[in-house]
C-alpha cells in the first residue's frame, strides 16, 4: 500500500458524504473537500502531516507576502512533491517505509506486539478500555486503518514500558519511553478552520520568517522521509526529526516495523523529543504558570471554552512567549470572525489514556484583541464565582444532613454543562464591552445564575422535612462572591499544573 495513491484518509465532502481518499486525491480535491472526518488525535496527526507536506512542497512560504498569495499554488505543488517522494510512503515492502525504521528485530522472546497496538483507542495489550471493550478478541485492521493508526501513534504514543529490540545489530533496551510530542503535558492543539481543507491548510501555514523568529535560523528542517534515520548513529537525521519544525511535524517517537500481513509489529522506544521550554509546538498555547511559561493542558474538569482567552493571544516576535497557536499571527487571515478547532489526548501521570477532547468555536474579531479577551475573562471569572457559591451551598446542605462527601461533583457537572451551552452569549458580549460593567444584568450573567440555581436543585433533594430544612440552609449561600478586580493590563492568574 502506498499512502499517496491508495485511499486511507477519512474526509467529509461538501455534500456531507464521507469517504477515504489518498494523499494525492486529497490535494487534487482540496478545494472541494469540506473537512477531515477523524477522531481528535487523528485529526491533529493528519493536520501535521498535511502542513508538513505543504510547507515542504512550497519550501516555505518564504515570507508574509508569499504566504498571502500561495493558496492556489498548494494543490499543484503538493502533488508534484508527492510524486517526487512516492517511495517514502510505502506501508509495506523491502524498501523505505512510512514512519518505520529498517533492520528492526525483536529483542527476545515475548517482545512481539499485535498491530492493533498502534491504535491507542483499542483495548489491546496494556491499552486502556476507555474507547473499546473488546480487548479479548482478535481484530484484523485494514491497511488504510493501519496507516492512520501508525501516523497517530507516532504523534501521540504515551509514556510507558516498551520492550527491547535489536536495531541495525544494536540493542535498544526495554525502558519507560517518554511521551510522543503531541502527548506531552496533555497539550491542547488549536487550528484555524476554513470552509475547505485547502482553506484550512493555508490558514495554518507558517512562513520561514515567522518560523525563524520562533525556531532560529537552523530550525526549519526537513520532513522525516527526506532525511530518514536508517541506524542509531545517524545523529544529524535524529537532530532533524527531534529539533526542527518540519522534522517534528511527523515524528518517529517509536521504532516500528510492520510484518507483511499487517497483523503484528516490532515495537521499540524511538527518539526523545524535547518539549517546552526547549521546543515550542506551533499549534500549542503557552500560558503563564507559577514556575514560568508552560503548555496549556487539556483537562476533563475544565472545558476548552474556559481557556479561549489564552488561546486567542497572538504571538509577537521578540516579545513574551505567551500566546496561542503561531498561525494566529498570519497577516492573510480575515479580520472578522474566525472558526477555530482545539483538541487533545488526556492522559494520567503514568501515561494511562483517560479520554480525548475537542471543541470548535466561531470567535468574533474582538476575541483577538485585549479588550475582548478581558471581557471574556471577566465572564469566565463570573462563572467561577457562581461555581464557588454553588459549592458553598452544597456543603451547607450536606452539613445539615450530616452526610459526607457532599454531592459536589453532581452539582458542578450539571452547572458547567448548562453554562457551556451559553458560551455564544459570552462571545457576543466581547463585541459590546460597555455592557460587561455589570455582568449580572447581561444575558450571560442571568444564564450563569440560572444554571447555578438549577444545579443546586438537581443535586440537593427536598422531599422530607429534614431535607427541606437543609435545602433552605444551603440555598442561602447561593450567591457569588464579589468578583476580584485586576488592574488594567494585568495578566490573569497563572493556571495550575
Instruction: Say if residue 390 is in the same domain as residue 259.
Output: no
Distance CA 387, CA 478 (A): 9
pLDDT tens digits along 161-213: 888 899 988 888 777 768 899 999 999 999 999 999 999 999 999 999 989 98
Lowest mean pLDDT among 139-143, 244-248, 311-315, 394-398: 139-143
Rounded CA-CA distance 126/155 in Å is: 18
Provide the whole-model pTM. Answer: 0.91
Q: Is the residue at 488 inside a domain?
A: no
- Provide the domain count of the chain: 2
pLDDT category of residue 130 using cuts at 50, 70 and 90: low
Calpha distance 195→339 (Å, rounded): 10
Average pLDDT estimate for 138-151: 89
Task: Say whether 197 sits in a helix, a strand or coil.
Answer: helix
pLDDT at 178: 84
pLDDT range class, residue 40, cuts 50, 70, 90:
very high
Task: Compute the mean pLDDT over every residue in the chain, rounded to the nearest whole number.
Answer: 89
Indicate the residue among 218, 248, 269 that finishes a domain: 269
The domain boundary, picked from 239, 269, 299, lies at 269
Task: Give me the domain span that covers residue 18.
Answer: 9-269
Rounded distance between C-alpha atoms, residue 358 and residue 365, angstroms:
22
Does 400 lie in the same domain as 261? no
pLDDT in tens, 429-442: 999 888 888 999 99
Q: Does any domain span residue 487?
A: no
First to last CA, the chain: 43
Residue 75 resides in a domain: yes
Q: What is the mean pLDDT of residues 335-339?
A: 83
Q: In the predicted model, is pLDDT for residue 491 greater than 60? A: no
Is the residue at 401 inside a domain?
Answer: yes
**Any domain includes 173:** yes
480 assigned to some structural domain = no
Exposure string over 169-198, b if 16+ CB within 10 A, otherwise e: eeebebeebbbbbbbbbbbbbbbbbbebbb
* 64, 197, 206 from 67: Cα distances, Å: 5, 17, 8
In a domain, 97, yes or no: yes
Residues 122 and 247 in one domain: yes
Does one domain contain both 73 and 207?
A: yes
**Percentage of residues of the chain with pLDDT beyond 90:** 73
Look at residue 318 in the predicted model and tell me its pLDDT: 58
Q: Does residue 349 have a pLDDT over 80?
A: no
What DSSP state is assigned to residue 159? S
Measured CA to CA in angstroms, residue 285 lies from 379, 415, 445 at distances of 21, 27, 28
Domain assignment present for 83: yes
Say which residues have a Cβ less than 8 Å from residue 338's Cβ, sequence separation at least 6: 192, 193, 362, 363, 365, 368
Determine the average pLDDT of the residues in 240-250: 96
pLDDT bin (cut points 50, 70, 90) of residue 140 is confident
CB within 8 A of 272, min separation 6: which ones? 178, 242
Amino acid at each position: 500500500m502506498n499512502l499517496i495513491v491508495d485511499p486511507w484518509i477519512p474526509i467529509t465532502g461538501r455534500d456531507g458524504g464521507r469517504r477515504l481518499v489518498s494523499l494525492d486525491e486529497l490535494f487534487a480535491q482540496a478545494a472541494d473537500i469540506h473537512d477531515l472526518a477523524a477522531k481528535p488525535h487523528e485529526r491533529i496527526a493528519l493536520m501535521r502531516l498535511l502542513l508538513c507536506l505543504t510547507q515542504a512542497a512550497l519550501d516555505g512560504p518564504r515570507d508574509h507576502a508569499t504566504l498571502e498569495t500561495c493558496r492556489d499554488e498548494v494543490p499543484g505543488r503538493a502533488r508534484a512533491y508527492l510524486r517526487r517522494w512516492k517511495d517514502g510512503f510505502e506501508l509495506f515492502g523491502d524498501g523505505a517505509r512510512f514512519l518505520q525504521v529498517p533492520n528492526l528485530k525483536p529483542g527476545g522472546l515475548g517482545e512481539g506486539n499485535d498491530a492493533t497496538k498502534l491504535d491507542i483507542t483499542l483495548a489491546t495489550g496494556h491499552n486502556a478500555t476507555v474507547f473499546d471493550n473488546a480487548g479479548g478478541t482478535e481484530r484484523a485492521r485494514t491497511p488504510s486503518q493501519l496507516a492512520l493508526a501508525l501516523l497517530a501513534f507516532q504523534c501521540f504514543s504515551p509514556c510507558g514500558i516498551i520492550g527491547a529490540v535489536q536495531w541495525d545489530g544494536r540493542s535498544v533496551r526495554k525502558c519507560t519511553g517518554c511521551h510522543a510530542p503531541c502527548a506531552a503535558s496533555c497539550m491542547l492543539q488549536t487550528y484555524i478552520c476554513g470552509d475547505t481543507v485547502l482553506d484550512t491548510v493555508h490558514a495554518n501555514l507558517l512562513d520561514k520568517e515567522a518560523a525563524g523568529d520562533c525556531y532560529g535560523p537552523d530550525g526549519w528542517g526537513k520532513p522525516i522521509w527526506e532525511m530518514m534515520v536508517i541506524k542509531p548513529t545517524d545523529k544529524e537525521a535524529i537532530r532533524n526529526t527531534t529539533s526542527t519544525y518540519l522534522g517534528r511535524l511527523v515524528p518517529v517517537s517509536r521504532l516500528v516495523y510492520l510484518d507483511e500481513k499487517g497483523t503484528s509489529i516490532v515495537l521499540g522506544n524511538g527518539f526523545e523529543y524535547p518539549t517546552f521550554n526547549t521546543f515550542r509546538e506551533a499549534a500549542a498555547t503557552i500560558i503563564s504558570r507559577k514556575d514560568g511559561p508552560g503548555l496549556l493542558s487539556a483537562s476533563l474538569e475544565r472545558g476548552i471554552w474556559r481557556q479561549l482567552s489564552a488561546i486567542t493571544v497572538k504571538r509577537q516576535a521578540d516579545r513574551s512567549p505567551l500566546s496561542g497557536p503561531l498561525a494566529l499571527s498570519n497577516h492573510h487571515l480575515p479580520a472578522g470572525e474566525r472558526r477555530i478547532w482545539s483538541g487533545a489526548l488526556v492522559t494520567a501521570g503514568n501515561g494511562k489514556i483517560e479520554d480525548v477532547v475537542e471543541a470548535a468555536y466561531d470567535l468574533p474579531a474582538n476575541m483577538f484583541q485585549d479588550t475582548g479577551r478581558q471581557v471574556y475573562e471577566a465572564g469566565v471569572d463570573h462563572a467561577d464565582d457562581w461555581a464557588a457559591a454553588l459549592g458553598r451551598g452544597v456543603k451547607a446542605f450536606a452539613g445539615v444532613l450530616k452526610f459526607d462527601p457532599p454531592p459536589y461533583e453532581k452539582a458542578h457537572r450539571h452547572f458547567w454543562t448548562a453554562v457551556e451551552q451559553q458560551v455564544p452569549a459570552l462571545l457576543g458580549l466581547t463585541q459590546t464591552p460597555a455592557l460587561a460593567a455589570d455582568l449580572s444584568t447581561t444575558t450571560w450573567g442571568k444564564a450563569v445564575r440560572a444554571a447555578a440555581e438549577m444545579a443546586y436543585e438537581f443535586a440537593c433533594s427536598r422531599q422530607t422535612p429534614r431535607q427541606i430544612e437543609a435545602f433552605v440552609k444551603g440555598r442561602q449561600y447561593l450567591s457569588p462572591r464579589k468578583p476580584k478586580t485586576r488592574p488594567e493590563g494585568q495578566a490573569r492568574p497563572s493556571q495550575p499544573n
